[in-house]
Amino acid sequence: MKQRTSTLLAVAALTAALAAHAQQPAKKASPQAKAAAPAKSDISKEFEKFREVLEEDNPAELFEAKGEDIWKNKKGPSGASMAQCDLGLGAGVVKGAYVRMPRWFADVGQVMDAERRVVHCMIKYLGYKEEDIRKQPFSNVNKTPDHVSVITYVAAQSRNMKIAAPQKHPKEVETYNIGKEIFAYRAGPYDFSCASCHGADGMRIRTQDLPNLRKPAEAIRAYQGWPGYRMTGGFMLTQQWRMNDCFRQQRFPEPSYLSDSITALLAYMTVTANGQVYKGPGIKR
Amino acid sequence: MTAMKKTVVFAAAALACSAALADEIRNYRAEAVAMMKRDFKAKGIATTDRLHEDGVQAVCNRSGDNPPKDIAARLEKDQLDNVRYPADGKLMGDWKAGEKLAQSGRGMTWSDKAGVPGGGNCYNCHQIAPAETSFGTLGPSLYQFGKTRGSGPDMQKYVYGKIWNAKAFNLCSAMPRFGHANALTEQQIKDLVALLLDPQSPVNSK
């Protein structure tokens, strides 16, 4: 617990630092120094440094533990449990399942990403109500919903494993290809697509580095650190949240939670990242 | 049929030929669009009509942002013909108001309110005034823009037009069409022109 306390203190300190930075008036600097774009912003470096320290003892573990408890102990109204949930490797098998989704699930006749599959099982076996989950799909300062904790647990059970989203079933191939098209689709008042912000190397929005998600080495960032513990707020956010917020920035309407479009996008990025090692739930600013 | 529509139809036809060899890709594209139209719901000001491509978007989407030169030139001209310059002929506003606008990343998302004027989002993509060190790199640096490019009537007209409709000069530019999309008003664009060109603006300081 001692270590955990110090970790949480570190989180608090960095959170404060980030908040202070956000409110700081612009610093004066010599124009010469400014004319050349800095390679990596100070705040980014600072963040990376803290993240390395934190990942030794990641607060995401608290949510992981809660998710594990639900997975192992919770019973649905008819006595069913998550032991019956097939994440693609057989009923109840969690190890290695996260890095092998999105995949085709014959029982539902659909390709599902991890978050979608976990929620599907929680509804089917544990009696969670779909409309409740849709009411609050993502965490906020007040609440990290149960399904987010279970996803965090499932993700952690693939820690240090290679990403290996399958492309065997024709529907898996189709899903990947549709995702690739969604990624490139420019529309809306700002003419943005995903590729507007994630289609070239070394780009930034303000100080935030934008991964080039078409490249395997950077597509891993659609995976690495997700689900992520958000330091400014203290809750867990999933890949589905990230997609939702990027569509907001893209000035699109809102994608329905757990929709085919999001599964397709995740399939595209995951397959692009295949072969790289997933380090488990992480930390996001 | 307007000139604009004709060019788009012509452009789409030309592209269809080059895309015919990639039958499957075209299928996936159509499926992707149909899927999004099923899955996306209006939220606040972000209505589902935003999922439809306009002519420029359609041509850029179908050509991987790299349309044939002649098609690009025709569509750029259409876009330029649609730029509305201020009736009073004044293109330079107040650079201080421009700097505030350049800072603001607000506008057009489902969390923005209807009727509340948006910002320029300029620092998201461009280095501009030297005091602001938190700037993006999706676009080129605009620091010293007026100093190196001049600030006379022609340059004012170019910058006003560029902000009003970036696609009039570069069809598949990553930069939004702020005037065309009603994302910025005439006065706001004038203020941004001043930010880049006014000799008093910190953009052009030594």
Tokens of B155: 């340059």
Report the chain A residue with the minimal C-alpha distance to residue B34. A261
For residue A234, pLDDT beyond 90: no
For residue A69, pLDDT beyond 80: yes
Whether A246 is catalytic is: yes
Residue A29 lies in a domain: no
The pLDDT, as a whole number, for residue A285 is: 74
pLDDT band at B80 (very low <50, low <70, confident <90, very high): very high
| CA gap A38, A190 in Å, rounded | 27
Report pLDDT digits (tens) over B86-98. 999 999 999 999 9
The pLDDT, as a whole number, for residue B5 is: 55
Map B125-166 to HEC letters.
HCCCCCCCCCCCCCCCCCCCHHHHHCCCHHHHHHHHHHHHCH
For residue A24, pLDDT beyond 90: no
Mean residue pLDDT of chain A comes to: 86
The DSSP output letter for A223 is T
| CA gap B190, B164 in Å, rounded | 10
The pLDDT, as a whole number, for residue B12 is: 56
Give the one of B111, B137, B183 whose C-beta lies nearest to A189's C-beta: B183
> What percent of chain A has a predicted confidence (pLDDT) above 90?
75
- Average pLDDT of the segment spanning B150-177: 98
- Average pLDDT of the segment spanning B184-189: 97
B22: contact with A, CB 8 A cutoff:
no
A 9-38 → B contacts, CB under 8 A: 26-31, 34-35, 37-38
For residue A45, pLDDT beyond 90: no
Residue A16 lies in a domain: no
For β-strands A203-205 and A208-210, DSSP reports them as: antiparallel
Output the CA torsion sign for A191, A192, A195, A201: positive
For residue B147, pLDDT beyond 80: yes
Give the one of A37, A192, A196 whose C-beta lies nearest to B127's C-beta: A37
The pLDDT, as a whole number, for residue B181 is: 95
The pLDDT, as a whole number, for residue B117 is: 82
Mean residue pLDDT of chain B comes to: 91
For residue A65, pLDDT beyond 90: yes
* Phi, psi (rounded to 5 degrees) for A212: -85, 95
Instruction: Identify the CATH number of the domain in which residue A154 sits.
Output: 1.10.760.10
Residue A185 lies in a domain: yes
Count the alpha carbons within 13 Å of A99 in the hemisphere toward its beta carbon: 22
- Average pLDDT of the segment spanning A224-240: 92
Residues of chain A contacting B43 with CB distance shorter than 8 Å? 253-254
Residue A5 lies in a domain: no
Report pLDDT digits (tens) over A111-139. 999 999 999 999 999 999 999 999 999 99
> What percent of chain B has a predicted confidence (pLDDT) above 70?
87
State the nearest Cα–Cα gap between B48 and chain A, in angstroms. 6
The pLDDT, as a whole number, for residue A33 is: 35
Q: What's the structural domain count of chain A?
A: 1
Residue A32 lies in a domain: no
- Average pLDDT of the segment spanning A45-67: 76
Least confident stretch, A28-32, A40-44, A67-71, A179-183: A28-32
Residue A25 lies in a domain: no
Q: Please give the residue range of the domain that contains residue A267.
A: 42-284
Report pLDDT digits (tens) over B111-141. 999 888 899 999 999 999 999 999 999 999 9
pLDDT band at B164 (very low <50, low <70, confident <90, very high): very high
Residue A177 lies in a domain: yes
Contact B110 A253 (CB under 8 A): yes
Q: How many distinct helices (H) and strands (E) make up chain B?
A: 9, 1
Interface test with A, best of B37, B39, B79 (most A CBs within 10 A): B39
Q: How many residues does chain B have?
A: 206
Residue A3 lies in a domain: no
